[in-house]
Structure 1
Amino acid sequence: MATRIALVGAGGKMGCRITDNFVKGSYAVDYLEVSPKGLENLRTRGVQVSDADTALPDADVVILAVPDVLMGEIAGSVVPRMKAGALLMTLDPAAPLDGQVPARNDIGCVVAHPCHPSVFNWEPTEEAFRDFYGGISAKQPVVCALMYGTDAHYRLGEEISTAMYAPVSRVHRVTLEQMAMLEPALVETLTQTCMEAVKEGHDRLVAAGVPAEAVRDFVLGHLRIQIAVLFGEVNGTFSDAAYKISKRARSVVFQENWQRIFDLPDIREQVRDITTR
């Protein structure tokens, strides 16, 4: 018998991406949605919405594809209705680490998050290459963490995650705390903030009269080779001048103790900000 899945928030941003993959698969899926926009998104896909009171107690797997700020409220309603032995899945570590997901000793919980396709992904077509989020045509790795439950729960969660985020190149098993170090700490608190500053620098040069296409070509080309050098994709180094100026800039751009963002107490503050309305 096919694994029965209840997808909560099936018509939302992440829910729609997962729905698009599940409708092509072999799982028995109940799609759950209540928002008008989400219901419209499912209607355009020809997807029927199921009744939650029937679907949740029957599900082998319940996936919460809902916003972090709503996770506590929705999880508090969903978890008590799950059958013994079932698996709960969330898509982000913030709410689980913040204590927003109730625990039961007779079910399991797995957190699964996509890495998104690497900037160095090779894809055979431009269309596949331009699947920047992943989940359509570009290969991407996934990280999974067992929050609580058994190894069997973890294996099922890993299997489901490869279907949710397909095509998947590999799965990395991490702890919940390690996943929170990856996101939000590494890729949002640090990387996104740095990239926002780079984009602000780009816009400042354009406003100063430097031709916009020249600025875009220059910064994106340099970003590619800088990432390639720093992450070992190419056997090369920066120029002596580049190393000299980056050393000078660190004390100007970064606070001395910026690495504290990777300490668990700071990460807990980060996730609390994420889960608070």
Structure 2
Amino acid sequence: MARSVAVLGAGGKMGFRVTKKLFDAGYDLRAVEIGDVGRARLAEAGIKSVDTTTGLKGAEVVVLALPDNVIGKVAGEIAHHLAPGTMLLILDAAAPYADVLPKDRPDLTYFVGHPCHPPLYSTTTKGAERTDYHGGVAPQAIVCALMQGPEAHYAIGVEICEAMWSPVTKTHRVTVEQLAILEPGLSEMLAMCMIDIMAEAVDECANRYGIPREAAKDFLIGHLNVEIAMWFGYSPKVPSDAALRLLEFGKARIMQPNWREALSPKVVREASELIVHGKR
């Protein structure tokens, strides 16, 4: 018998993608959606939407495909409808790490999973996979954490996550804290911050120094291709001595000396609380 999975927020932008994957994989799917737009999106895909009570009844796994700032509230509201042993599966570490999940239900399993998204460098992607930057068409790795519940439930959480984000190349196991360090820490506070600065730097080249914007963008993207490949082991790391000297010269002017603290559990928890509560 197919495993029963309820998805709350099934018709949302994020929720629809995972719901469609579970539907196609043949799960006993309960697509819970309260919005008219989301219901219409599900109907167009041949997926029937249900109300919360119907969706939760007998569900083995409940996926909270919801904004981080409402996960705690919704989890608290639905907890009394869930039988012992039910798994709450959250798609991001922020809410669990901000400690908003019900504390009075130690008999529930809390599981967190998140996709890595398709890698920059792959020797296997082809056709439409090459322009799939988010995942779902191109293969990607995922990261999973069992926050609370029996060890045997880890395999169940992985099964659902691998179905939602298929095709999956590898599943990495981490703790919830480690997942929070990866996101929001590594991917958003650090990487996205630097990428945003690079985009602003291209505009600076164009607006302040008159360099054609397309030339500046092509120059930067091409160099990123080479430099990321070298620094992350996709090609031999062979920068010139001059480039390495300039690396240290630039870091001293751009980076805060204590930048590594952005990945510390203390700061990552503050970031998670900012995401969930809108304040630290």
**TM-score bin, normalised by smaller chain:** over 0.9
Q: Partner of 2:106: helix, strand, or coil?
A: coil
Cα offset for 1:228? 0.7
Distance 1:78 1:254 in 2: 45
2:22 corresponds to: 22
Deviation sequence 1:116-160 (CA, Å, 0-9, x none): 01101234423111111001x200001000010011211100011
What is the aligned partner in structure 2 of residue 184 from structure 1?
A: 184
The residue identity in structure 2 corresponding to 1:73 is: K
What is the total number of aligned residue pairs between the two structures? 276
Post-superposition offset of 1:98: 0.5
For the aligned residue pairs, the C-alpha RMSD in angstroms reads 1.3
For 1:193, the equivalent position in structure 2 comes to: 193
The one-letter code of the counterpart of 2:253 is: V
TM-score by length of 2: 0.95
Give the match for residue 253 of structure 1.
Answer: 254
Aligned to 2:93: 93
**1:54 and 2:79 equivalent?**
no
* Residue of structure 2 equivalent to 1:110: 111
Q: Aligned residue for 1:274?
A: 275
Q: How far has the Cα of 1:44 moved from its partner?
A: 2.7
Please list every run of at least 4 consecutive aligned residues from structure 1 whose deviation after the TM superposition is greater than 4 angstroms: none
SS of the residue corresponding to residue 151 of structure 1 reads coil
Distance 1:121 1:206 in 2: 32
Pair 1:144-2:153 in alignment: no
Identify the residue that residue 172 of structure 1 maps to in structure 2: 172
Q: Percent of aligned positions with the same letter in both sequences?
A: 38
Secondary structure at the counterpart of residue 46 of structure 1? coil
Residue equivalent to 1:206: 206
2:148 maps to a residue whose letter is Y
| Other-structure match for 1:37 | 37
Aligned letter for 2:123?
Answer: W
Structure 2 CA distance, aligned partners of 1:46 and 1:34? 17
Question: Are 1:237 and 2:238 an aligned pair?
Answer: yes
Q: Point out where structure 2 has 5 or more consecutive residues left out of the alignment.
A: none
Provide the C-alpha distance between the structure 1 equivalents of 2:18 and 2:29, rounded to a whole number of angstroms: 11
Partner-residue secondary structure (3-state), 1:146 = strand
- Paired with 2:75 and 2:234, the residues of 1 have a C-alpha distance of 42
Task: Tell me how far apart the structure 2 counterparts of residues 215 and 27 of structure 1 sit (CA, whole Å).
Answer: 48
Q: Distance in 1 between matches of 2:213 and 2:115?
A: 33
Range with greater deviation from structure 2 (50-59 or 9-18): 50-59
Q: Distance in 2 between matches of 1:258 and 1:70?
A: 30
Q: Supply the distance in 2 between the matched residues of 1:97 and 1:124 (Cα, whole angstroms).
A: 34
- On the 8 A contact 1:123/1:138 being kept in 2, the answer is no
What secondary structure sits across from 1:58 in the alignment? coil
Structure 1 unaligned residues grouped into runs of 5+: none
CA contact (8 A) 2:132 2:138 kept: yes
Post-superposition offset of 1:39: 2.2
Which of 173-182 and 205-214 deviates more? 205-214
Question: Scaled by the length of structure 1, what TM-score is found?
Answer: 0.96
Offset of residue 35 of structure 1: 2.3
Tell me which residue corresponds to 1:215: 216
